[in-house]
Amino acid sequence: MRALPHPATDDIELTEVLRALSDPVRLEAVARLAAEGEMTCGDVGRNLGVHKSTASHHFRALREAGVVMTKQDGRQKLMSLRRDDLDARFPGLLDSVLSAAHATV
């Protein structure tokens, strides 16, 4: 299993996390991961309403911001939320954002 580059926990920046979560497609992907746990990128991307290449762009933005962890397993990429890392850096942020997003649905 090959790991893709991710920022270290101490290098996750609040502005980058908020920028990544400000997009509705990325926020929906994060909400799915929060509800379901680790998923393949294909499963996360299903029903997001964007093309596969656009979904890949959004997933990369989430990974580079430190919001998700993506690892490659053969031909599949598995994605999971970096909840522990985000809670360590910014306590309560993820829960607040997800609660606010859920309230507006």
In a domain, 54, yes or no: yes
- Looking at the DSSP assignment, which residues form a beta bridge with residue 78? 40, 71
CATH number assigned to the domain comprising residue 14: 1.10.10.10
Q: How many domains does the chain have?
A: 1
In a domain, 104, yes or no: no
In a domain, 103, yes or no: no
The pTM assigned to this predicted structure is 0.92
Measured between alpha carbons, how far is 72 from 27 in angstroms, rounded to an integer?
22
In a domain, 68, yes or no: yes
CA dist list (Å): 48 to 13, 29, 59? 26, 8, 12
Domain that holds residue 47: 2-98
In a domain, 75, yes or no: yes
Contact 26, 58 (CB under 8 A): yes
Q: In what order do the strands lie in the sheet with 2-3?
A: 2-3, 68-73, 76-81, 39-40
In a domain, 38, yes or no: yes
* Per-residue pLDDT tens over the stretch 55-105: 999 999 999 999 999 998 888 999 999 999 999 999 999 999 999 988 875
